Each structure stands twice: as structure tokens, then as C-alpha cells.
Structure 1
Amino acid sequence: MKPLPLVGLAAFLLLMGTVGPRAAGCDPVGNIRFVCDQSGPEDLVVVPGSDWVLSSGMTTSGAIHLVNAKDRTSTILFPSASAKERLDKKTYNTCPGPIDPAEKDKFRAHGLYLRPGRGSVHTVYLVHHGNRESIEVFEFDGHAKPPVLTWVGCAVAPDPIGLNSVVGLPDGGFITTNFSPRNQDAAGRGRMMQGENNGELWEWHTDSGWQKVPGSESAGPNGLEISKDGKTLYIGGWGSQSVIRLSRGQTPVKRDSVQVGFRVDNVRWGPDNMLLAAGQGGTAPSQTSNVAKVDPNTLKAQEVVRQPYGDALTAGTVAIQIGKDIWVGSVRGDRIAIFPAK
């Protein structure tokens, strides 16, 4: 999420909540447990075939964290001394080079996506904010002890695209959301929050570069998922408070949606082939972090988490399921909240 004019920022903070109050230490609050030592874990991805989870970081000195799902310990995976660089010049032929280490506190790790590879080696896509607005691409090596990220390339977004979420494609390309164009004024953001289209999806490939995805115009297109066959996209409609299903590679484009009653941030596949949509509901002072399970075939939605802002969680943004638990990340605060799955 991008810098806003003061009026727009004030309205946005009222909705998202200020930096949430913290539970004492990392102690449970009722039946809610935590993974602490995070930096605004806006997005979460499960590393397949392992006990690892990756979390992003949207606060000052944001970072990609590596979380052990068993003991809930966390370490910084990037930027770190263990991270490596190996530019794939063939695929990312317009990338100017690695992330500028001088970014320091400006570095923000926003949306994450992991595309499974062979064995324990996968491709990780990161929505990056800092000295450039870009999709950064990494190789995740789970064979290493501990795992290592190797930066392999990037694609810098053209103005005024304001990136939010991303899904990877087999050729190294990706699809990403333009949630809120950079330098959008407060009035434009207010219209988006009322359901007016202000953004869209973009697809990038080595040969064709950045291309707008047909039929993807939406009010605050935020989170993004893709079907296994690559023929369907699922969009978190933040402004429209809906999950949108959009065909890919089909003419005419087929599009439908379901209202979920809260501002959908990220969308993630669950282990039961259902979608988990997470976001923010209500208005101050009765705001909530929400998670709904959405059937990708029928688009029927069922609420699984509704948590008032407070010690346990403020401004929930993403949900993943690990075993019998629902992990919920937040754009604010220092922890991931763990709820019993219903």
C-alpha cells in the first residue's frame, strides 16, 4: 500500500487501525496463539513439503521472514548475509540489477507468491517497494540448512502502477495487481472505497513485457490467486468487498464475483482446494479482521474468522491453513495470529 495524501491517509488509518496493541510478550490471548518477531507480516506462503512458512514485511526495515511452523520461531531470510545473487539475464532481460542495499529502512516486502519447483527448490515472487516499484524474483533452496534465498531477477513496474499482489507463471513471468496507482489523490481513493474501478491486473513476460489483463478492471484489486491449470484468476476486491473470478486466455472474458461483507486483502488456496479470503470489516470503532472460505466453483462464502481489533490482531490481511490452524497475518504489528480452524 502506497504513500497517501494526508486526508486520504487519515481516512485509511481509521479503517486499517493504528499500530495495534500487543499482548504481553508473545503469550496467547484466549485460544489465539502467535508467531512473534515479525515486521508487518502482510502476506504468508507455505513452502510445500516442509515445516516452513514465508512471511513478508511492510513496516520499517521490512523483510522476508522464514518461520518454522512447528516451534513458531522466525529468522530473517532477506535481506541477510546468507542471501545470494545470480541474475537470470535471459528471463529478466530488462532488470537493472539487484535491489539497492542503500534502501535500508525504505525496503518493503509486500505480496509473496511461491511457485513450486522440483524437490525443495522453488521460485518466490515478491512485490517490492523501495527505491523502485518492482516484482523481485528469488530461488528458494530448501536443501540448504537453513534454507537460502538467491535473487535471480526483477521487472520494474511502469508508472503509475502501484503493485500489491503477484502470482508466478511457468515461464518466469507473472501476473500482478495494480491496487492503487501511485500518487492517487484522496478523492480517487475514496471513490475506490465506494466501489469505483481504479485499478486492474497486469501480466509480464520476457518477450512481451507489461500487458494489461483484459476484463480485470476493479475497485482496489488487491489479493490474487490462480488455478492450477492457469485458466482462472481469483481477485481480492478490496473496494468492492468481494472475491472476483476471472477467466484467463478466453474470449470473451468470463467474470463473476461474490460479496463477502469485508474488504478482501489477500486470497490463498487452502489444503481442501477452497480459497481463504482475508481482510478488514466494519468501521471504527467496531473494526474486525475477517477470513472467509470461498468455494472456487460455486463462489459460496462461509465465515471462519471474525476478530475485533485488539490485542490479538489488528488489520488482518492474509490467511493460510496449516493442519488444524488458521494463520492470519497483518499489515501492522509484530505477529501472526493463529486461530483454531472451524
Structure 2
Amino acid sequence: MKIRDLLASFSLLFFFVDAGALAENTPVSVTGYSGEVQCQKYANTTPLCFFSNPEDLALLPDKETLLVSEFGDNHGTEPGALVFYDITTQTRRLGYSGDSHEQPTEYWGDKSCEDPPGTVFSPHGIDLSQRADGRWQLLVVQHGGRESIEFFELVDTDRVPRLLWRGCAVASEDTSLNSVAAGRDGELFATKMQSTSSSWNADPGSPSGLVYRWSKRSGFDPVPRSEGHMLNGIAASKDGKTLFVVYSGENLVKKIDAQSGEVLDSAVVKSVDNIKWSADAQVLVAASFTGSASVDDFARCTSAELGVCPIAFSIVELNPGSLEEQTLFYDPNAPMGAGTVGLKVGSTLFIGTFSGNRILQVDMAEPGH
């Protein structure tokens, strides 16, 4: 997808957000800062300014280390990386950048995928889970060189964690993947946001994507009735029977049956991005863009020199049973914008972004402004 079309897609999301806000007489705005924001503590927030586009986050089993997906871009022209962040020592360490030539001893993905992605490796959505044999599996949406789900094994979790590449599952042509969630028995679920050939002026009322189920036996198959507009984040219940899927272009989070695709429930959340389980797996945490923005605003956010993307956001908590929503964090003056993911670890909230040099750490035990 060309950058113009990507930016237009983001702008289209904000068309839906603005329309909903106007209907409710709710003001929407871009954040109050310019993007040239100093890396200083503000109220109950602390910016951690040594990352590159930390679009998605996962918590390691030790509960003391974050795995960070440093986003390159949607069309595979800019490489990214997977990095570890030690919460206690506040140190960042490279986990995987695609330049490993070590061949795996076993393959978890398609039989036809035998080689690592290489230096064009560009990660996006990630999901960390335990396989049936107890080993830790990291799934990564990847855009560089191929549109794929990359499989990694997380090892040495009690010492210095490492990632071993375990293969991939290559998506069909004309597919732009976004997020991934592990199912049962080696299955996974992934969202197709739209086609790579989609035009910026495509009919916003027509479905642009769907949910895929992948298994080693049958490859990628559509989940029935999962079509919708601008699918984004996805999370799966522990038993793999229920999916929580973000339909950004519809301002909805849908709870669907993983087999039949039946919509069990839905909640209106403006311009949602990623959705993740909290560290205790009791609630779902989602990021929501709350401001209005144009293609030019998002173009500024793709600038390599910009430390902060000046788009307002909130982090919301959803009850997995009722999908009742509660705001966890909202502060348009905080030293980071365009939050795409929230990871709740006890009383601390870590927030990532698709564009910027920082993760925002929020101490929810302290009062904010």
C-alpha cells in the first residue's frame, strides 16, 4: 500500500469518529502540544524515550519485562525490530531484527516457509502465549518482504530472554494484515484490515477486511460472517472459542464466536486500535483515538524527526462478559500522543504508539491532572 493510501485510511477512520462525536455533541480535538515534547515526567506519566514506533506490547512470564514491536511501516519499505524492555532497570535490548541466519530445528508455520524474513523485517501486531507443550510462542504480523505471521519461541525466560525464529505463515496476495491472536492446538486468528490494492476513495460502507483462522493443516480460512470495515486489533479467550475483534471503521469492538462467526455482543468505542488482555487476564484493554485528524496530521506523524504524534487518545478497559467500558487513562497534555496499545500491569499502564520515540508509563496509583 502506498503511503498516501495508508494516510488516507487513517483519515477515513477519523471521519467515522468525528461523525459519531458530532451526533453526541462531544468535542473532539488534536492534542494541545506540537509534537516537539520534552522527555520529562508529567503528572502521573513518565515517557520512556528510547524506542522507535513501539506499536504493540506484550508482557513476558517474569512480569518484569516487556516485549515491544517496533513498527516499520505497513508496506514493508521501512524495517523494524522486536526489543525487550526491563521494567526494573529501564533498559532496552534488541531481541530480533531479521538478520539472524540461524536455521530452526523445527517449524511451527507453513511447510513452505523455510527462511527468516531477513533485514526487511517489519513487525506490527504481536501476541505471546503458551503452546500445549508449555513452550512460549510469539506470533508477529510482519510486512517486510512478505505479508506474513512469523512464529518465534521465547526461551530462557528465567535468565536473559531470547527469541528463536520458528517459521511463518504467508498470507494470500493483496492482503494487509494487522493483528494476531493465538487459538488452541496451534491455531491462530488474524485480522485483515484491507487489501493492499485498496484505493483511498474506496466505498467506506463496503467491507474492507475480515478475520482469518490459520492452522498448519488448512492454512488461512475466513471466519464466517466476520467481514467488516477496517479490522484492527484482536484478542482470543483462553479456550480459543471467543474472539474480541476491533472494527475501527465501524467504531465497534465485537465479541464473536470463533467457529461460526456469530456476533455475541458488541460495544461502541471510537476509532479503536489494539486490544489486549491485562496482565491478570481479567479485563481487556483497548486504545482509542479521540481527536480529529487529517491526512496532513498523520503525514506529520510519519516524519522521522518527530518524537511525538500529536493525536489525542484514551485507554479504555472492557469487561469481557458485558463489554462495559471504563476509561483508564485520558490526558491530552501527556507527553505522548497517538496511543495504539495499552498494557495494564498491576497499577501501572504502559502505552505504545505507531509513531514516536517513546512508551508512556502511567502510574495509576497516583492522581493525574
Q: TM-score, normalised by structure 1?
A: 0.86
1:290 counterpart residue number: 314
1:331 — aligned with what?
354
- 1:320 corresponding residue in structure 2: 343
Does residue 45 in structure 1 map to residue 45 in structure 2? no
Judged with a 3 Å threshold, the aligned counterparts in structure 2 of structure 1 residues 341 and 84 are, in CA distance, closer, same or farther, namely: farther
Q: For residues 225 and 145 of structure 1, do their structure 2 counterparts lie closer, same or farther at Cα, with a shift above 3 Å needed? A: same
**Residue of structure 2 in register with 1:219 after alignment:** 229
Q: 1:83 to 1:55 in 2, by over 3 A?
A: farther
Q: 5 Å matches for 1:72-221?
A: 72-79=90-97, 84-86=102-104, 88-89=106-107, 91-101=109-119, 103=120, 107-117=121-131, 121-143=135-157, 145-188=159-202, 191-192=203-204, 196-221=206-231
> Per the alignment, do residues 175 and 119 of structure 1 end up closer, same or farther by CA in structure 2, a change over 3 Å counting?
closer
The 10-residue stretch of structure 1 (147-156 or 30-39) with the greater mean CA deviation from structure 2: 30-39
Residue pair 2:40, 2:335 contacting (<8 A) in 1 also: no
The one-letter code sitting in structure 2 at the alignment partner of 1:219 is: H
Q: Which amino acid aligns with 1:231?
A: K
Q: How do 1:245-284 and structure 2 match up within 5 A?
A: 245-250=255-260, 253-260=262-269, 262-270=270-278, 271=280, 273-284=282-293
Give, in whole Å, the separation in 2 of the partners of 1:46 and 1:130.
Answer: 24
For residues 76-98 of structure 1, the C-alpha deviation after alignment (integer angstroms, 9 at most, x for no partner) is 11127788540534753121421
**Secondary structure of residue in 2 paired with 1:42:** strand
Which deviates further from its counterpart, 286-295 or 35-44? 286-295
Shift of 1:11: 6.9
User: Given the superposition, is the C-alpha separation of residues 143 and 82 from structure 1 closer, same or farther in structure 2, using an over 3 Å criterion?
Assistant: farther
Deviates further, 126-135 or 268-277: 268-277
The verdict on how the C-alpha distance between 1:339 and 1:219 changes in structure 2, with shifts beyond 3 A counting, is: same
CA gap of 1:13–1:63, structure 2 versus 1, over 3 A, is farther
Q: Determine which of 2, 6, 9 is the counterpart of 2:7.
A: 9
**Offset at 1:280?**
1.0
Q: Report SS of the residue matched to 2:54.
A: coil
Unmatched runs of 5 consecutive residues or more in structure 1: none
Q: Is the 8 A contact 1:121 1:139 kept in 2?
A: yes
Partner of residue 89, structure 2: 71
Report if the CA contact (8 A) 1:83-1:150 is conserved: no
Instruction: For 1:52 and 1:120, locate their aligned partners in 2 and report how far apart those are by CA, in whole Å.
Output: 19
Q: TM-score, normalised by structure 2?
A: 0.80
Structure 2: runs of 5 or more not aligned: 15-29, 73-77, 298-309
Q: Note closer, same or farther for the CA distance 1:272–1:11 as it changes in structure 2 (3 Å cut).
A: closer
**Seq. identity, %:** 30
CA 1:242 to 1:296, structure 2 compared with 1: closer, same or farther past 3 Å? Answer: same
C-alpha spacing 1:47/1:117, structure 2 compared with 1 (3 Å) = farther
1:91-140 per-residue CA deviation (whole Å, 9 max, x = no partner) reads 53121421123x2xxx3210000012589941000000111111000001
Q: Is 1:233 matched up with 2:259?
A: no
Out of 39, 43, 54, the residue aligned to residue 30 of structure 1 is: 43
Check 1:22–1:339 CA distance in 2 against 1; reply closer, same or farther (3 A cut): farther
| Kept after mapping to 2: 8 A contact 1:22/1:311 | no
Bigger drift between 58-67 and 155-164 goes to 58-67
Which has the higher mean CA deviation after the structures are superposed, 208-217 or 136-145? 136-145
The answer (yes or no) to whether the contact 2:68–2:82 under 8 Å persists in 1 is yes
Following superposition, the deviation at residue 246 of structure 1 comes to 0.4
Contact 1:20 1:311 in 2 (8 A): no
Say which SS state the counterpart of residue 113 (structure 2) adopts. Answer: coil
Q: Which amino acid aligns with 1:56?
A: S
Residues 45-68 of structure 1: CA distance to partner in whole angstroms, max 9, x if unpaired? 111233111110113431111011
Question: What do you get for the CA RMSD once the two structures are aligned?
Answer: 2.9
Q: Identify if the C-alpha distance between structure 1 residues 215 and 118 changes in structure 2 by more than 3 Å, giving closer, same or farther.
A: closer
Secondary structure of residue in 2 paired with 1:239: helix
Counterpart secondary structure, 1:265: strand
Any conservation in 2 of the 1:87–1:97 contact (CA below 8 Å)?
Answer: no
Counterpart amino acid of residue 221 in structure 1: L
